[in-house]
């Protein structure tokens, strides 16, 4: 005997809720990583930045899997409701066809996902600015150390404040030693 239609529908809604929950947890972790990365970018701590980048890669791979799971859950729910993709192309548009109790729960999860995605986008933009600033600092420091291959010498001045030429400065040092 086949399960009642309402039972199948409830299972589809629950699987969608679980899939959205997984995405929310991954996005929260990505936001935390971006916040830590920001601190390390400001301090120009390259080893810790590398750790954050590796963690982000892992989380993004997990997010791809979670996105796929959510997409399958949305498709299954859409099929259960016998809706075409054109009639309900997005999760938000699909929610209006659900029962009110579950609609609110899923709507809250969608709002949470949107909020986390926006926060992550803003953090990534700020981190890009800090990364560019860090690169300028490193380049400036490198240029200062190398001075493009020229060795800077300290200036030698006369008692009236005029700069001595290099050959005159050598004579001054020789006489004073």
For residue 54, what are the CA distances in angstroms to 19, 58, 149? 24, 6, 36
Q: What average pLDDT does the segment 32-56 reach? A: 95
- Would you state the pLDDT for residue 1? 46
**In the chain, pLDDT over 90 holds for what percent of residues?**
50
Phi-psi bin for 46: left (phi > 0), alpha (psi -120 to 50), beta?
alpha
Output the pTM of the full model: 0.75
Write out pLDDT tens, residues 143-175.
888 765 454 455 666 777 777 655 444 444 444
Q: Which residues of 55-75 are buried (b: 16+ CB within 10 A; e: fewer)?
A: bbeebeebbeebeebbeebbe
Pick the closest to residue 64 from 109, 112, 30 (CA basis).
30
Q: Which domains does the chain have, with CATH numbers?
A: 5-150 (1.20.58)
CA distance 174 to 176: 6
Q: What is the pLDDT of residue 160?
A: 75
47-84 pLDDT, tens digit each: 999 999 999 999 999 999 999 999 999 999 888 888 88
């Amino acid at each position: 005997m086949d399960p009642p239609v309402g039972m199948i529908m409830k299972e589809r809604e629950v699987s969608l809720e679980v899939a959205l929950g997984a995405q929310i947890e991954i996005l929260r972790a990505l936001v935390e990583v971006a916040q830590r990365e920001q601190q390390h970018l400001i301090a120009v701590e390259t080893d810790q930045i590398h750790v954050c980048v590796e963690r982000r890669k892992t989380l993004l791979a997990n997010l791809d899997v979670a996105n796929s799971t959510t997409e399958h859950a949305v498709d299954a729910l859409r099929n259960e409701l016998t809706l075409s993709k054109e009639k309900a192309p997005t999760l938000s548009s699909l929610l209006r066809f659900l029962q009110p109790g579950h609609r609110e729960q899923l709507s809250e999860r969608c709002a949470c996902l949107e909020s986390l995605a926006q926060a992550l986008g803003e953090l990534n933009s700020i981190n890009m600015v800090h990364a560019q600033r860090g690169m300028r600092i490193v380049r400036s420091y490198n240029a200062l150390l190398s001075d493009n291959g020229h060795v800077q010498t300290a200036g030698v001045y006369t008692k009236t404040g005029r700069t001595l030429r290099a050959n005159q400065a050598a004579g001054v040092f020789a006489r004073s030693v």
